[in-house]
Amino acid sequence: MQTKTTPGAMLKAMREKPPLVQCITNYVAMNIAANVLLASGASPAMVHAAEEAGEFAAIASALTINIGTLSTQWIDGMQAAAKAATSTGKPWVLDPVAHYATAFRRNAVAELLALSPTIIRGNASEIIALAGGESRGQGVDSRDPVEQAEGSARWLAERQRAVVAVTGAVDFVTDGERAVRIEGGSVLMPQVTALGCSLTCLVGAFAATAPEDIFGATVAALSTFAIAGEEAALGAAGPGSFSWRFLDALAALDAETLDARVRISVA
Ligand SMILES: Nc1ncnc2c1ncn2[C@@H]1O[C@H](COP(=O)(O)OP(=O)(O)O)[C@@H](O)[C@H]1O
Ligand SMILES: Cc1ncsc1CCOP(=O)(O)O
Ligand SMILES: [Mg+2]
């Protein structure tokens, strides 16, 4: 069996056997997230209806759930899919977009957390609020530095027995015992809508590739974004050209370049 010990090795393994990833994501993110997965080498499927979400989760290799544009019908689909993923042994990722904003979102996220996500990926404001802290987030946008969310992430990871990824200028990943920081990316990334949502879907793709190493898979997905983001920013005039350059950079990124350039440090 091939060893998948580095982000580059995981990227290579994903491309050799593209995983089917069921993405229950929001209307804003659907197109860019699907393109991010295709450019990276995975197969996305945006399937959210309550009538089929559970059945689909049983055939997908991983599931991602994002509450960005929520409705009661969507919640039914999310819960059916999360239950099916868990019962068939598939990893699933929760992206709690702006869960602090309304009671409807808070309740939906509390119910999803009770279904034991394998990984939780959010921005700093979302992770601080998930741990019961005072977050300064505005709608879907973070207003808190990642460093401020590190303690919350460690607490949440232990409580949920999940890997928690906090993204921002320097990303942070923990499983409650281990923790790392990942440098890279670009200030243009939060200027392009739904890149965080797309990253959540990519975390699902890596988790499908390396279900035996969920922590490593999460780090690999964030590392891929960090290096592709840096590369895309080099020639970008602003968020518009960054957006298409980012897809090209993901597709062009190879395992060796990723491993040579990634900057991961133990936290
Ligand atoms: N200031 C920044 N500098 C570099 N990369 C960033 C910055 N802010 C966000 N990113 C990157 O953008 C991606 C999306 O993260 P983020 O903006 O935190 O998510 P969300 O869109 O959910 O708020 C991640 O890869 C993250 O590392
Ligand atoms: C703008 C917006 N509104 C509801 S979901 C969404 C997209 C949020 O994307 P991200 O969390 O990646 O910034
Ligand atoms: Mg987000």
The whole domain housing 209 covers 7-266
Q: Write the pLDDT tens digit of every residue in 192-243.
A: 999 999 999 999 999 999 999 999 999 999 999 999 999 999 999 999 999 9
Asked whether residue 1 is domain-assigned, the answer is no
Annotated binding site for substrate: 46, 194
The predicted pLDDT at position 4 comes to: 75
Question: Within a domain: residue 73?
Answer: yes
Domain with residue 259: its CATH number is 3.40.1190.20
What is the enclosing helix (H) or strand (E) of 59? Answer: helix 53-59
Count of structural domains within the chain? 1
Q: Which ligand lies nearest the alpha carbon of 125? A: 1
2 domain residue, yes or no: no
* 224, part of any domain: yes
**215-226 pLDDT per residue, tens:** 999 999 999 999
What separation in Å is there between the alpha carbon of 20 and the centre of ligand 3? 22
Q: How far apart are CA 167 and CA 110, in angstroms?
A: 21
Distance 189 CA to ligand 1 centre (A): 6
Q: Please give the angle made by the CA atoms of 151, 266 and 162, to the nearest 5 degrees.
A: 50
Closest-lying ligand 2 atom to the alpha carbon of residue 26? 5
pLDDT for 62-83, tens place per residue? 999 999 999 999 999 999 999 9
Interacting residues of 118 by C-beta distance below 8 A, sequence separation 6+: 91, 92, 93, 162, 163, 207, 214
- Residue 1 Cα to ligand 3 midpoint, Å, equals 35
State the pTM of this model. Answer: 0.98
Q: In what order do the strands lie in the sheet with 92-95?
A: 43-45, 20-24, 62-66, 92-95, 119-123, 163-167, 171-174, 179-183, 263-266
Distance CA 10, CA 2 (A): 10
Of 199, 203, 253, 263, the one to substitute when testing ligand 1's pocket (max ligand atoms within 8 A of C-beta) is 199
Residue 117 lies in a domain: yes
Nearest CA to ligand 1 atom 12: 189
- The whole-number pLDDT of residue 3 equals 58
Give the CB-side neighbour count of residue 106, counting CA atoms within 13 A.
8
- Residue 108: inside a domain, yes or no? yes
Residue whose CA is at the smallest distance from ligand 1 atom 23: 123
Q: Check residue 125 and give its pLDDT.
A: 97
Nearest-atom number in ligand 1 for the CA of 171 is: 27
Find the 178 Cα to ligand 2 centroid distance in Å.
Answer: 29
50 φ, ψ (degrees, to nearest 5):
-60, -30
Which pairs with CB-CB distance under 8 Å and at least 24 residues apart come from 171-177? 171/146, 171/222, 171/226, 172/146, 172/267, 173/215, 173/218, 173/219, 173/222, 174/150, 174/267, 175/214, 175/215
